[in-house]
Amino acid sequence: MSLLRVEGLSKAFGGFEAVRDVSFTLEAGERLAIIGPNGAGKSTCFNMIGGQLRPDRGRVLLNGEEITGLPPRAVWRKGVGRTFQIAAAFGSMTVVENVQMALLSHHGRARALFPLARALYREEAMALLERVGIRDQAERFCSVLAYGDIKRVELAVALAHGPRLLLMDEPTAGMAPAERHALMRLVSAIVAERGIAVLFTEHDMDVVFAYADRILVINRGRLIAEGPPERVRADREVQAIYLGSSVEAPA
């Protein structure tokens, strides 16, 4: 059974079909990238899996269990962690408090009225920060961190409840080139050691081809190619999308 199975996912806004009949699967331990031009439907697809958007048609199954149309918090509870395109943590909290917040929620104590939040699950949070390499930043406020470090905070937060699937929307956008590879190496290592899967969208082709086991290409809401990096790179339709409608003509 696949960890994630997406069947015939579709979504229209007004008359505009943003995503149309997209199906794919994702196995444990796998890194799957979704690429495509702006407005192709990547984010819509992503948000339907994460629960931020409700699909018009189609199903999303996690380990065989249907999670279609559940709100984000319920999808999270089923074992999905996600990061966002424009990284931002809870800006009024320190790095370690951000992770503690996720842990509090995971342990069902997010609404406790009396204990001091600062003291709860601190060790667990520090261990996660250690894993993503920013333990030394634990007491800083997120609003003053370097952007690359905020991405790591987001990752630690997404990992807090021991998810089986990570959704990462443009994990390296806005980062300096050198940091991008460091972050993706970290993600790959975590995926391997925990036996989880990651689904990510990405603009940086270096990142996609270096770190994806498999690639989905979406254009105008439809899945037009799928497969290992080399096969996608050679696909003529994919070439055409990236270089314009009649790439052969001028050559």
Q: For 148-181, give one letter per residue: b (16+ CB within 10 A) or e.
A: bbbbbbbbbbbbbbebbbbbbbbbbbebeeebbb
Scanning 24-32, 84-92, 123-131, 181-189 for contacts with other proteins by CB under 8 A, the matching segment is 84-92
Tell me: does residue 109 bind other proteins (CB under 8 A). yes
Tell me the window of 62-70, 93-101, 123-131, 183-191 that interacts with other proteins (CB under 8 A). 93-101
Q: Does 212 bind other proteins (CB under 8 A)?
A: no
Q: Which is nearer to other proteins, 192 or 243 (CB)?
A: 243
Which region among 1-9, 22-30, 192-200, 204-212 touches other proteins (by CB under 8 A)?
A: 204-212
Site for other proteins in 143-202 (CB under 8 A): 143-147, 150, 157-158, 160-161, 170, 173-177
* 123 vs 249 by CB, closer to other proteins: 249
Does 18 sit near other proteins (CB under 8 A)? no
Report in angstroms how near the CB of residue 45 gets to other proteins at its nearest: 16
The binder of other proteins chosen from 141, 186, 188, 222 (CB under 8 A): 141
Stretch that binds other proteins, among 19-27, 57-65, 105-113, 129-137 (CB under 8 A): 105-113
Q: How far is the CB of 85 from other proteins (least distance, A)?
A: 10
Q: Does 250 bind other proteins (CB under 8 A)?
A: yes
Contacts of residue 149, Cβ cutoff 8 Å, sequence gap at least 6: 95, 134, 137
> What's the rounded Cα separation, in Å, for the pair 123 and 120?
8
Asked if 127 interacts with other proteins (CB under 8 A), we say no
Interface pick for other proteins out of 118, 185, 231, 236 (rule CB under 8 A): 118
